[in-house]
Chains A and B, each alone.
Chain A
Amino acid sequence: MAESKEIKAKDKKEIATPGEQIKPGPIFAPEVDIFENEHEIVMLADLPGVKTSDLNIDLRDDTLTIMGDVNAAKPQNEDDIVVEYEVGHYLRQFTLSEVIDQSRIEAKLEDGVLRLTLPKVEKATPRKITVNA
C-alpha cells in the first residue's frame, strides 16, 4: 500500500430498533466490510468493547443478525470531563442471498474486530453423463 491517509473521526451511527429494548443505552450500527470469493462470504465488523461472551450471531433463514453488548467500562467514581463518543450496544442485520453452509460458519473476535466467515454451499459438481450408443 502506498502513503496511507489519515483517519477521519466519525460519529457512531445510532439505529432505532423495531421493538423496545430491555437493556438501557443507545444501539449503534457497527461499521462492516463484506466481501466474497467463490467459496465464502466474509464479514468484518468493528465492535470495540464487545467480549466474546457478549457477542451473539444468529442466522435464521436468510437473515443474519450480529448483536454485541457493551458493558460500560467506566467505574462509577469517575467524573466526565470530555465525552466525544457514546458507549452502547451494537446491532446489525443483513439479508443473505446465497445459501450458507451453517455447519461451517466461523466467527473470530480479536481486538474488537469480528471476522465472520460464511461458507457457501458447494454446488453439486457437474457430472458428465456419457450417453451410450
Chain B
Amino acid sequence: MMIRRMFDFPDVSLRRQMEDFDRLRRQLDVLNGRFMGSGDLQRTGVFPLINLSENKDAYFVRAELPGVKANELDIQATGNSMSISGERHIPEENGSAKYHRREREAGKFSRMISLSNEIDPEHVEAKMENGILTITLPKAEKAKPRQVTVK
C-alpha cells in the first residue's frame, strides 16, 4: 500500500499499469520470501490485521475479530477511505478462577484503510460471521473498469 501511494500518478492508465507492475513485483517478493523484511506478509502492525482484495465491482476488506459483536464495531466509509474501530471485551470470570494462561487480548482498536479508487459509501456492507468481519465496498461507477468494444 505504501509503495502504491508513492506511485500514485494522476494519470489513470499509467496507474493501472503501475498496479499490474506492483502486483507482479509483490508476487516475486513473495517467491523470494523477503517482503518487508521477513516472511511473505505485509505488516503494518495495526490491529486488526486486514486482507484487502478486489474484483471489478468492489473492494473486500476482511479482518479476524473473534469475540467481537457486530454492535461493538464502528465502520465508517468516505470517498476513498474507510475506518474500523471498536473494542474487544473479554468478560471477567468469577473471582475464584485461577488463571493458567492468558493469551487472548482485550482492548480498543482503530484502523484507517485508504483505497486507490473512489468507492460508493452509500452501499458499503459489513458482515460478521464466525468472528470474521467482511466489508464489501462497491467501487464508484467512474472507478469501475469499462469494457471497450473495438469497431
Contact = CB atoms under 8 A, between A and B. Distances in A.
Interface residues of B, number: 54
State which size class the interface on A falls in. Answer: 35 or more
Contacts of A33: 90, 99, 101-104
B41 interface: yes
Contacts of B110: 6
Interface in A15-35: 31-35
B8 interface: no
A117 to B, nearest CB: 12
Given A82-B52, A84-B41, A46 B66 contact: yes
Contact of A113 (B23, B41, B51, B67): B67
Contact of B1 (A9, A37, A42, A82): A82
A83 B41 contact: yes
A37 B131 contact: no
B64 A8 contact: no
Contact of A47 (B49, B69, B94, B131): B131
Q: Determine the main DSSP class of A at the interface with B.
A: loop
B56 to A, nearest CB: 9
Report the 6 A-B pairs with minimum CB-CB distance, sorted nearest first.
A112-B131, A112-B66, A48-B131, A48-B64, A84-B49, A31-B103
Contacts of A31: 103-105
Interface in B47-69: 47-55, 59-60, 62, 64-69
Interface of B: 1, 23, 39-55, 59-60, 62, 64-69, 87-88, 90, 92-94, 96-110, 128, 130-132, 134
A133 interface: no
19 contacts: A5-B108, A9-B45, A11-B41, A11-B43, A31-B104, A35-B99, A36-B97, A42-B97, A46-B104, A47-B66, A48-B65, A49-B130, A78-B53, A82-B1, A84-B43, A111-B66, A111-B68, A111-B69, A111-B131
A26 B149 CA distance: 43
A43 to B, nearest CB: 9
